[in-house]
Structure 1
Amino acid sequence: MQQTALNLIAIGVFLMTMTSLLGGIFQLSPFVPAGITAAVMAFATVDTFNWQGRGMTLFLDLFTPAEQRQRILHHEAGHFLAGYLLSIPITGYSLTPWEAIKQGQTGQGGVSFDLESVEASLKNPQQMNLLLERLSTTLMAGIAAETTIYGKALGGANDRDQLRQLLAKLGISVASYQQREQWALLQAKNLLDRHQDAFQNLVTAMADRAPLEECYRLIKQDSSERST
């Protein structure tokens, strides 16, 4: 069962408990808590199987604190910067579940990459090692950005899962996963350190929902200034 459905069920149980406790005070019918629970569980079922959990994701996003939104912004800016600099094709970005849904994505949103074309190139033995290094670094760049700004990362579980799935597809030994993750994380941190100005400019641009072309321009501008 998806986590969003479990969250909805937990809310239903909580509401049933509260209405049961307060029912005597407000003279509520015993059918009220049962009705609330049934409605919540029905919504959980529809949300899970028809909407892939998007309804609950949107609901929970209403309560996301400002600090967490800033973390998400910096996390995704890390992915964006690394992806652009390492030539991983970017197709778009979103910073909230609603923005993701409008773009036809699922989940919390984030930077979208053309991973199909990258994975197709990975089948070429001559390109595999270099592309794997670049893609691994890009996937770990969100965690690197959070760690750099906040001291530790709260997000990134999906990034690690993506990397492990990629390594599994390529037939790479499970025993090397952690070492490869740590190497990619170190490379991402070094990349962000070398492009701090571009990163900060990108954070500002993405906060304003700047189009991809403007984000690219800011990164190119920083690269040009560094080369002069």
Structure 2
Amino acid sequence: MEEEVPQRLYSLDELKLNGIDTSSLLSPVDGTLGSIERNLQLAAVSGGVAAWNVFDFNPQQIFYLSLALLFLWTLDSVSFNGGIGSLVIDTIGHTFSQKYHNRVIQHEAGHFLIAYLVGILPKAYTLSSLEALKKEGSLNLQAGTAFVDFEFLEEVNTGKVSATTLNRFSCIALAGVATEYLLYGYAEGGLDDINKLDVILRGLGFTQKKADSQVRWSVLLLRRHEGARAKIAEAMTMGKSVGSCIEIIEDTIDESDI
């Protein structure tokens, strides 16, 4: 597919002139899940104090209870890489925070759209850790979009990644945070995407400037096809298939504009 925006490195000044603050995209902090985690910790402490007063636990019982909780936390961290804790927090986020739920959907819709536009076929998507657990049977998966990316993986394994392939991967990786930036003015999700991209770029000898420059391309593509992304997000909300989401793109965007 033809590139719609010229591919070259952009300076930070050029990005700012286009209204793009890379610091708002490339250093996302998930305030919603962070707040939920802090509240759960406070609730646990408050519950422990209340139980102590109600059941009149002695110091030895409190010690054993604390030891049991520490064991469970360590088990989750070591055996499941924190998967159980992440599953609980993510599920609470989707259940009680409509903003968080909507943000995740918009984020994944951005990945889906950009992948298709740059010629990488999406093959599956999930919108929560619980959904990923049901579909993949893994505790260490979060919301995400999977792609048919054999060519990219093959190039990475050989250590020789073409400029075209790297540009495609970079734009897909940054599409989620770019979507959040356009909708909310900042990004909360996508830290894992950025970390993966950072590992690839550093492994290939690129600097942060490369990632910064790719932000502009992702943002401009998303701005240009905002209508298609919104329709994909709506379809994902209804649990539509990958094929249905692709059909939306093809029906919404003129072939000559891809």
Task: Please classify the TM superposition score into its range, dividing by the shorter chain length.
Answer: 0.7 to 0.9
**Alignment match, 2:84:** 55
Structure 1 runs (4+) deviating above 6 angstroms are none
1:66 is displaced (CA, Å) by: 1.3
Partner of residue 69, structure 1: 101
Give 1:172's aligned residue: 205
**Distance in structure 1 (CA, Å) of the matches to 2:148 and 2:64:** 45
Q: Shift of the alpha carbon at 1:44?
A: 1.6
User: Retained in 2: the 8 A contact 1:143–1:185?
Assistant: no
Partner of 2:215: 185
RCO higher in 1 or 2 (8 Å CA, sep ≥ 6)?
2
1:114-172 per-residue CA deviation (whole Å, 9 max, x = no partner) reads 444313146596x7001111110111111110011111111221111111111133x22
SS in structure 2 of the partner of residue 108 of structure 1: coil
Alignment of 1:27-176 (within 5 A): 27-30=55-58, 31-64=60-93, 65-104=97-136, 105=138, 106-121=140-155, 128-169=162-203, 171-173=204-206, 176=207
Structure 1 position 84, deviation (Å): 1.1
In structure 1, runs of 5+ residues without a counterpart are 1-6
Structure 1's 114 and 43: CA in aligned 2 closer, same or farther, altered over 3 A?
farther
Contact persistence 1:137–1:188 (CA under 8 A): yes
Q: Gapped runs of 5+ residues in structure 2? A: 1-36
State the 1:192 CA deviation.
0.7
Does the C-alpha gap of structure 1 residues 102 and 18 become closer, same or farther in structure 2, counting only changes over 3 Å?
closer
- RMSD over aligned CA atoms reads 2.7
The structure that is helix-richer by fraction is 1
CA distance in 2 between partners of 1:214 and 1:208 (Å): 11
Provide the C-alpha distance between the structure 2 equivalents of 1:162 and 1:136, rounded to a whole number of angstroms. 10
Deviates more, 1:108-117 or 1:140-149: 108-117
Percent of residue pairs bearing the same amino acid type: 24
Structure 1 residues 33, 66: CA separation in 2 closer, same or farther (over 3 Å shift)? Answer: farther
1:206 aligns with 2:236: yes
Deviation at 1:55, TM superposition (A): 1.3
